[in-house]
Chain A
C-alpha cells in the first residue's frame, strides 16, 4: 500500500476552462511549461500560480472543467505541479484531456465537503481511496482500456508504445 501526502486547494462547482486557462492565450501559449504554469487559474484564483507547490491537489465540486476543449486547461495544472484534480464530477472533454495527458483525475463527491484549502490529504491510487481525518473515501477505478493510457503517461506515450 503506497500512500502519498498532498496539500489541498479547494474550489467550488462549475469551474470552467476559461477561468482555468483564459482563451486569449490559446493560440500563443501551447507547450512552454513555465508560461502555462504562470497563467494557471488566472481568472479564478490569481494567487494560485505564485503559491502552488509540486504535489498539491485540487479538490472541487461538480462539473470541473466545463466549456472549451482547450488542452492547456489540463497541461497548465500539470505544468504548475498539480498532482491530481479530485472533483465531484468532471466535464467530459476535460476528463478525456486529463487522461490523455497523464493528469490524475479522481471522481469523489464525498470528500469535497470535508476538506478546505491548506488541508493535507493522503492518496492511495492502487487501492483507489483517499484518506483524510481518519476516514477513507473510496473512488471508482477507470475501465481497464483507459487505465492503460493513463499508465503509459497519456495517449501520445501510449501510441509510441504500440508502434
Chain B
C-alpha cells in the first residue's frame, strides 16, 4: 500500500499544500505564502507557437528542461484553415529544434486526457499548463493549475514560476449518486451553489467515502470542472481506484516501462494530513444530487433538469476534456441504441485510446446507427474554432464545460450544459430530456416498430 506517513513534510497540511511544498522544495507552506515552484510538467497545446514567439524575446536560446515540456495538437485539430495548419507546422519545428519528446500529434486527443493516459502526470507531481482546465490532473493526486502564455515562456526559460499558496476548500462526499445522475451533475450543482467565483484564488480538495463509488472517468470530471468555480487547482488523494486505473492504462501506453513508472508514482504519492486545515468545509450527500443543466450564458446558471420547462434543441455535442471519455460515450450509446436521433449529435472522443475502446465496445456503431457524427479526437467545437461551431439562433445541448455567449463561435446561439446521457436523450427527443423519460417512448416505439411503423 502507498504510504505517505514517512514524508518529513507532515504537519497539518492539506494535500495541495504538501504538493506545493514539494514543488518549491520547502518543508512546509501555508496559505498566502509566495513560493517559487519548479513544476514536473509544463503543458502547452496549439498555443505553443505563440508562446515560442514570446520565448524568443528572452536571452535564453534553449528550453532549460525540454524533458519537462508536454505539447499536444488538439484545439484546432485537424487544422480547419491554412493559418491553423501553419501554426501546427511552426509547433513541429519548435518541437524538433528544442528536442521535446513528449509531443502528441493531431488525433491523439485532448491534452489533459492524453497526459493522464501516457503517465506523464501522476500522483505527487506538479503540472502548470497554458490551459484553464489544467486543474484536471488533481484526480490523480497531482497539483495542477492553469497559467498564461507569458508564464509558460518564463517557465521554459527558467524552469520555475511564482505561485501564491491558496487556501483549500474541502468538499466531503458521502453516499452514492442515484441512477441516471453523474459527476457532471454534482459539479454543476456545486458551481450553481457556490458560483463561478466560489473557489477563486483557492484550491479544492475532494474526500469522503462517496469517492470510492466514483469511477476514474467521473473523478476527472470533478477536478476538471472546478476551473469553472474559479479554482486554482483541485485534487483528491490516490486510492485503490486510482492505482488500478494507472496499472491498467500504463500497461497499454507504456509497455516497456509501466512497472517502473507505477513504482515511481507510488513513491511520489502524497496524502493530506488528518488534521489538515481547510478554509471552508462542504459536505455533500451524493444521493441528493439531481440531473442538472447549466442554462445560457454562464455555468453557474445551473438548475435541476426537472425545473426547466420544455426547451427545444437543434444540436448536441458530446466530448471535451470534461465529458469525452469512454464512460461518457457508453452512456450516450446506451441511450441512443435502437433509436433514431431527431437532432444532430456530434460525438468527439477525448483521445484516440477512448475512440478505440468505444469502437471495440460497439458504442461507435450504436451512435452511427442512430445518426450521430463522430469527430477526430480533440477539443472539437468547444471553444468555437472548428468542427461543429453553431449558427445564429442554434440551441445546443453540450457535455462541455462552458456555455458563455459566443463560446462555440456564435454569440447569437445558446448553449446548455449537462451530462452526456442527457445530451443524447435530448437529441433523441428534440428537446431537453432525461433518458429516464425516454424509456417509455422506447418501449412504445419498439412495439410500433415491430408492426412496421418507421416514423420515429
Interface check B201, CB cutoff 8 A: yes
Chain B's interface size range is 35 or more
Residues in A whose Cβ lies below 8 Å from that of B57: 156, 160
Minimal beta-carbon separation of A34 from chain B (angstroms): 17
**Docked complex Cα distance between A151 and B2 (Å):** 46
The answer on a CB contact under 8 Å between B232 and A67 is no
The answer on a CB contact under 8 Å between A18 and B402 is yes
Minimal beta-carbon separation of B312 from chain A (angstroms): 24
**Docked complex Cα distance between A77 and B438 (Å):** 48
Q: Which chain A residue has the least Cβ–Cβ distance from B75?
A: A27
State which of B99-107, B151-159, B242-250 sits at the interface with chain A: B151-159
Interface 1/0s, chain B 72-92, versus A by CB < 8 A?
000110000101100100000
State which of B263-271, B405-413, B420-428 sits at the interface with chain A: B405-413
**Docked complex Cα distance between A162 and B87 (Å):** 31
Interface check B146, CB cutoff 8 A: yes
**Docked complex Cα distance between A43 and B87 (Å):** 25
A14-B196, A160-B59 known; A27 and B50 CB under 8 Å? yes
Most A CB contacts (10 A, CB to CB) among B47, B87, B148, B197 go to B148
State which of A52-60, A90-98, A124-132 sits at the interface with chain B: A90-98
The answer on a CB contact under 8 Å between B150 and A100 is yes
The answer on a CB contact under 8 Å between A91 and B197 is yes
Residue in A89, A93, A146 whose beta carbon sits within 8 Å of that of B197 in the complex: A89
The answer on a CB contact under 8 Å between B150 and A92 is no
Minimal beta-carbon separation of A109 from chain B (angstroms): 12
Minimal beta-carbon separation of B252 from chain A (angstroms): 30
**Docked complex Cα distance between A62 and B132 (Å):** 19
Minimal beta-carbon separation of B122 from chain A (angstroms): 23
The answer on a CB contact under 8 Å between A19 and B150 is no
**Docked complex Cα distance between A26 and B162 (Å):** 25
The answer on a CB contact under 8 Å between B162 and A92 is no
Q: Which chain A residue has the least Cβ–Cβ distance from B164?
A: A143
Q: Which chain A residue has the least Cβ–Cβ distance from B161?
A: A155
Interface 1/0s, chain B 33-65, versus A by CB < 8 A?
010000000000011001001100111100000
Interface check A114, CB cutoff 8 A: no
The answer on a CB contact under 8 Å between B197 and A96 is no
Most A CB contacts (10 A, CB to CB) among B46, B75, B404 go to B404
Minimal beta-carbon separation of B439 from chain A (angstroms): 37
Residue in B83, B131, B197 whose beta carbon sits within 8 Å of that of A69 in the complex: B131
Interface 1/0s, chain A 12-47, versus B by CB < 8 A?
001010110011101110110000000000010000
The answer on a CB contact under 8 Å between B298 and A43 is no
Residue in B132, B153, B409 whose beta carbon sits within 8 Å of that of A68 in the complex: B132
Tell me if B's interface is mostly helix, strand, loop or mixed: loop
A26-B383, A91-B230 known; A155 and B150 CB under 8 Å? yes
Residues in A whose Cβ lies below 8 Å from that of B368: none
The answer on a CB contact under 8 Å between B150 and A156 is yes
**Docked complex Cα distance between A145 and B33 (Å):** 11
**Docked complex Cα distance between A74 and B60 (Å):** 25
Interface 1/0s, chain A 109-149, versus B by CB < 8 A?
00000000000000000000000000000000001011001
A156-B54, A159-B154 known; A89 and B200 CB under 8 Å? yes
Interface check B385, CB cutoff 8 A: yes
Minimal beta-carbon separation of B408 from chain A (angstroms): 9
Residues in B whose Cβ lies below 8 Å from that of A96: 147-148, 151
Q: Which chain A residue has the least Cβ–Cβ distance from B229?
A: A66
Residues in B whose Cβ lies below 8 Å from that of A159: 58, 154, 157-158
The answer on a CB contact under 8 Å between A62 and B47 is no
Interface check B112, CB cutoff 8 A: no
Residues in A whose Cβ lies below 8 Å from that of B389: 24
The answer on a CB contact under 8 Å between B230 and A92 is yes
Residue in B34, B150, B196 whose beta carbon sits within 8 Å of that of A143 in the complex: B34
Minimal beta-carbon separation of B194 from chain A (angstroms): 12
**Docked complex Cα distance between A31 and B47 (Å):** 12
The answer on a CB contact under 8 Å between B298 and A23 is no
Residues in B whose Cβ lies below 8 Å from that of A93: 132, 146-148
The answer on a CB contact under 8 Å between B200 and A27 is no
**Docked complex Cα distance between A27 and B80 (Å):** 11
The answer on a CB contact under 8 Å between B34 and A69 is no
The answer on a CB contact under 8 Å between A43 and B200 is no
Interface check B184, CB cutoff 8 A: no
Interface 1/0s, chain B 329-344, versus A by CB < 8 A?
0000000000000000
Interface check B434, CB cutoff 8 A: no
The answer on a CB contact under 8 Å between B201 and A27 is no
The answer on a CB contact under 8 Å between A31 and B148 is no
Tell me which residues from 61 to 79 in chain A have a Cβ below 8 Å from any Cβ of chain B: 62-63, 66-71, 74
A14-B298, A23-B384, A24-B385 known; A156 and B153 CB under 8 Å? yes
Taking A26-B385, A28-B81, A100-B148 as known contacts, 17 extra A-B pairs with beta carbons closer than 8 A to each other, sorted by chain A number, are A14-B197, A22-B409, A26-B383, A27-B50, A27-B83, A28-B84, A66-B197, A69-B130, A89-B197, A91-B200, A92-B201, A92-B230, A93-B147, A93-B148, A146-B162, A159-B58, A159-B158
List, sorted by A's number, 11 A–B pairs whose CB atoms are closer than 8 Å: A23-B384, A26-B47, A27-B75, A31-B53, A62-B197, A67-B404, A91-B230, A100-B151, A156-B57, A156-B154, A159-B157
6 A-B pairs with the lowest CB-CB distances in the bound complex, closest first: A97-B148, A63-B197, A23-B383, A18-B404, A43-B406, A69-B132
